[in-house]
Chain A
Amino acid sequence: MSEAVAVAHGHGVHAAPTSFWRKYVFSLDHKVIGIQYMSYSLFMLVIGGLLAMLVRWQLAFPGRPLAFMGKIVPAGMPGGVMLPEFYNSLFTMHATIMIFFAIMPLLIGAFGNYVVPLQIGARDMAFPRLNMMSFWTAVPGAFLIIASFFVEGGAAQSGWTSYAPLSAIQPKGQTLWLLALLVLGISSLLTAVNFITTIINLRAPGMHFFRMPLTVWALFIDAILLLLALPVLSAAMIMLLFDRILHTTFFLPAGLIVSGAAWTNAGGGQPLLWQHLFWFFGHPEVYIMILPAMGIVSDVMAVFARKPIFGYRSMAYAMCGIAGLGWIVWGHHMFQSGMNPYLGTTFMISTMVIAVPSAIKTFNWLGTLWRGQIHFTTPMLNAIAFVAMFAIGGLSGIFMASTPVDIFIHDTYFIVGHIHYVLFGGSLFGAFAGLYFWFPKMFGRKMSETWGKVHFWLSLIFFNGVMFPMHILGMRGMQRRIYDYTQYSHLKGLQPLNIFMSFSAFALGVSQIVLIVNFFWSLKFGERVGNNPWRANTLEWQTTSPPPHENFAEIPIVYHGPYEYSVPGMAEDYLPQTQPASAPLSSH
C-alpha cells in the first residue's frame, strides 16, 4: 500500500454516531447520505412524472378540462382548462426536475455515494463532512424549484434550456429556477470534488485503476465532467440572473421590442452566447446522466451472465473517449441557431465520431452475454432493457448529427423521442437495475422478484408505447413544446397517435406504483438474503448487508479485477476480489 493511500485511509475514519440527528439526518456516513439522496431523488421523480402526466393530458385532448385540476391549480388551469403559459411551465419543470433533481441525484448522489467507497474498499468518502453538506445543499434547491410554482406568474416557462432573451423577460419563477440550479450546482461540485479525491486516494491495497468496477470508473469520469462543465453553466446562469435583476445585457441585444414597447435593459448582448455556454455544459450533461447507468449495467451484466465483461479496458477507455469528445460536440444543438454554417460541419464530424465509443460499449455488452449463463433476475432484465433501449436512443442520435437532416427534425418530437430513449430507456432502466441489484446490500433484504418483473415488463411496454411514436410525430413535422398542435392543419391528424401515447404514459406512471409498493413492502417483509445473494465479486458484497459503520471490519486487499466469473478449474463460478486466484488468470 502506498503511503498516500495509507494516510488517506486514516483520514476517512470517524466515530460511529449515536444521536438520532447525527445518525439519520446530519449523517457523515456515505451510506446514509446515499439513502438520503435516494429518497430525495425518488420523491422528485414522482413530481416530475406527475408533471409529465399533465403535459400528456393536454397533448391527448388539447383544451379539454380536467375538473379536479381546476381546484388544485386554479391559476394555471381555471375551470380545469390548461392555460398555454401553465403548459409551458409544466414541460419546463418536468425536464428540469427529471434531469437535475431526479436522475442526477439518483445515479450520482444515491448510487455513487452508497457504492463507490464500498466498491473501492474505503471506509467512507474522503471528505465526509463535505459529503453531508452536498446533500443538505441540494435540499434547498428542491425547495426553491417547487416554490417557483407558487410565485406570481408561475414557474419558469422557457424550457429546460432557458434560451435568452425569452428567459430574461419571463416572470419571477425563472429567477427561482436559476437560483435553484445554482444551489444544486454547488452541491454537485462538492460531490464531484469528493468523488475524485476518494477514488484517487482511498482505494484499497491492490485496487489499481484497472481493477476498479466499471461503476466506479463511470462515476470517476462523471465527477470530472461535472467539475469542468458545471462552472460554465453556473457562470452563464449568474450572467442571466444579472440580466434579469441588475439590468446587465450579457444576452440582450440592442433594440429589443417586447409587447410593442422598447425593452429597457437591452443593448450589446448576444443571445447565442447563452446557447454556447449552456450547451458547453448541456451536452456533457447528457453523458453525465448516462455514464453511471452504463457502469451499473456493466456490473449487473457480468454478475448475471456469470462472465467477465467483454473488453473491460476498452469499456473504460470508451467512457474516457465519450467524456473527452463530449466537450467538442456542443454545437450540434445549434445547427439552426444562426451560427456560422461552417461551424456546423465541424460539429457534425465530432458528433458522428462520438457515436463510435457508444457503439463499442453496446457491442461489448453483447459480447458479455455471448456464451454466458444468463440469469433473468429483475436487475438483469433492467440491464438488458438498458442495452436494447440505449441502442435505439444512440441510433436516433445519428439523424440529428447529420446537419441537413437536422434542419428538418431539429426542435421536433423526433428530438424528444431520442432524448427519452437515452434518459428513460437508458439512465432510468440503468437506475432500476441498480436499485434492484443493491437493495439487498442497502437493507439486508431482497425486493420481490415477482413484483420486480411485473414492474419491469409494464415499464418496458408502456415506455415504448409513449416514446417510440414520438419519432413519428417528429417525422410528420410536429414541433416540440407546442401547447395545441391541432392549430396546424398538417398536424391535426396526429391526435389519435397522441391519445395512444398519453394513455401509454398514464399506464407507465401507474406502473411505477408497483415499484414504490415493492420498495416499501420489501423493506419490511423482503426475503433476508445474507451478504452476497448474487454471488458477486466486487468488494461491497464482501461485507455485511447492510454494511457496518466504516464498511469493513478490516480494509480488504484486492488481488485481481472485478469480473472474474466462471474461472476454469474453480469449484465456484465467481472469484471475489478479496480472494487470491489459485492459478494465473487470463486476460483473454
Chain B
Amino acid sequence: MNRRRPSWLSLIVGAAIVAAPALLLAASEPNAPWRLPEEASTYAGRIDGIFNLILWITGIVFFLVEITLLVFLFKYRAKAGGRATYTHGSNRLEVIWTIIPALILVFLAVVSQDSWAYIRNHFPSSGTVIDITAEQFAWNIRYPGPDGKLNTDDDIVTLNQLHFPVDKPALINLHSKDVIHSFFLPEFRIKQDAVPGMTTRVWVQAKHTGNWEIACAELCGLGHYRMKGYLTVDTPEGFQKWLAETAAENKTESK
C-alpha cells in the first residue's frame, strides 16, 4: 500500500530519535540526582557498568515499544468507513522478535556472570578479616587480636563501628543472632544477608578513605530502620592506630 506518511508522523518519529538518546545521556549524567551513588569500592564500577548497559538496552527497547505504540495509536485510529487489515500474523516476524530478545538476554547473562563470579566466587587470598554478627538492631563487629585468630580472648570488638584500611581487601564473615538481616553498603555496591545458623561471606576493597553508613536491607523488626552502622575507611597506619586504641578500650572495659 503506497500511502504518503503524514508530516506529523515524521515529526514524532524524528523527535523520538533525538529524544531517546538525549534522555538516556541525561540519565547517565554523573551529577544528576537520579544517578547511582558514588563508586567507593573497586568493583562498584563493574556493577554500574552492567547497570548502565542494561539501562541503555532497555531504554532503547522502551522508547521503541512506546513510540511504536503511540505511532500505531495515531496512525490506525478508527476512521469512518475504514476497515482493519485482516491478518493473523507473520511467522517470520515472530521468529525475528523471539530470537533478537533471546540473544540480547543471553548476552546480558554472560556479561553479568563474569562480574558475579568475580565478586562472589573469587575471594582474595589475603586481607583484613572481620567478623560481623547482626542482631536486632545492631552490628557487632569483631577483629582478630594479636594472636591473629578470631573468637579468642584477645579479639577486638566494637558496636556499629566498622573500620578497614584502603586499598586492601576486607574479608567479612556475616552471622546473625536472631533474624535475617542484610549488610548493605550502598556506595560500595555490596549487600549480603546475615542468616542465623549459617555464615555468609563477602569481600570488599575501598578505593579511597572516608566515612559512610551501613544499612540493614532486610526487614528485621520494628527497629529495622534504625539498624545503622558506620564505616570508616582509614589509611593502613590510621587503621592500625584505631585498632590499637580500640583494643586498649576493650581492655579498660573488661577490667
Contacts and interface: CB of A to CB of B under 8 A. Distances in A.
- The answer to whether A and B belong to the same complex is yes
Interface of A: 83-85, 88, 157-159, 163, 165-166, 169, 253-259, 263, 269-272, 305-312, 314, 336-338, 341-342, 344-345, 348-349, 352-353, 355-356, 359-360, 362-364, 366-367, 369-376, 384, 387-388, 391-392, 395-396, 398-399, 401-405, 407-408, 410-412, 472, 475-477, 479, 481-485, 487-490, 493, 563, 565-568, 573, 586-588
How many interface residues does chain B have, given as a range?
35 or more
A398 B68 contact: no
Contact of B116 (A341, A472, A567): A341
Contacts of B90: 310-311, 367, 588
A305 B76 contact: yes
Interface of B: 33-37, 46-47, 50-51, 54-55, 57-58, 61-62, 65-66, 68-69, 72-73, 76-79, 82-91, 93-94, 97-98, 101-102, 105-106, 108-109, 112-113, 115-117, 119-121, 135-136, 177-180, 182, 184, 186-187, 189-193, 195-198, 200, 212-213, 215-226, 228
Given A371-B87, A479-B215, A487 B228 contact: yes
Nearest to B189: A408
| Among B34, B83, B187: residue with most chain A CB under 10 A | B83
A370 B88 CA distance: 11
Nearest to B120: A341
Given A355-B105, A356-B102, A369 B120 contact: no
Contacts of B86: 307-308, 565-568, 586
A403 B113 contact: yes
Contacts of A84: 222-225
A573 B83 contact: yes
Contacts of A401: 108-109
Contacts of B212: 490
A227 B200 CA distance: 35
Nearest to B116: A403
B73 to A, nearest CB: 6
A494 to B, nearest CB: 9
Nearest to A407: B191
Given A370-B85, A371-B87, A472-B33, 17 more contacts: A259-B178, A271-B195, A271-B197, A345-B116, A348-B112, A349-B109, A355-B101, A366-B68, A391-B66, A395-B62, A399-B55, A408-B47, A408-B191, A481-B219, A563-B88, A566-B85, A588-B88
Contacts of B224: 84, 88, 481-483
Given A387-B69, A395-B58, A475-B34, A490 B79 contact: no
5 contacts: A88-B222, A310-B87, A344-B116, A402-B50, A487-B228
A293 B177 CA distance: 43
B119 A338 contact: no
B192 to A, nearest CB: 6
A576 B187 CA distance: 60
Contact of B225 (A373, A392, A483): A483
A405 B51 contact: yes
A337 B186 CA distance: 17
Contacts of A567: 86
Contact of B54 (A362, A398, A485): A398
Contact of A485 (B87, B117, B216, B225): B225
Nearest to A359: B101
A398 B79 CA distance: 39
Given A314-B94, A404-B46, A407-B190, A371 B105 contact: no
B98 A408 contact: no
B119 A165 contact: no
A411 B225 contact: no
A388 to B, nearest CB: 6
Contacts, number: 301
A57 to B, nearest CB: 16
B132 to A, nearest CB: 13
Contacts of A475: 34-36
Contacts of B218: 163, 411
A479 B184 contact: yes
A562 to B, nearest CB: 12
Nearest to B51: A405
A83 B222 CA distance: 9
A568 B65 CA distance: 29
B24 to A, nearest CB: 13
Contact of A566 (B83, B195, B198): B83
Contact of A573 (B46, B84, B200): B84
A348 B113 contact: yes
Contacts of B58: 395-396, 398-399
Nearest to A311: B89
B77 A166 contact: no
Contacts of B179: 163, 165-166, 169, 258
Counting from the closest, the 5 A-B pairs by CB-CB distance are A253-B197, A477-B186, A371-B85, A311-B89, A341-B120
A412 B217 contact: yes
Given A256-B196, A349-B109, A405-B54, A166 B65 contact: no
B87 A307 contact: yes
A371 B84 CA distance: 6
A253 to B, nearest CB: 3
Contacts of B196: 165, 253, 255-256, 271
A387 B110 CA distance: 29
A307 B201 CA distance: 56
A344 B113 CA distance: 9
B112 A403 contact: yes
B195 A311 contact: no
Contacts of B119: 404, 407
A211 B159 CA distance: 66
A310 B84 contact: no
Nearest to B97: A363
A410 B225 contact: no
A336 B116 CA distance: 11
A256 B197 CA distance: 8
B51 A259 contact: no
Contacts of A476: 33-34, 36-37, 186
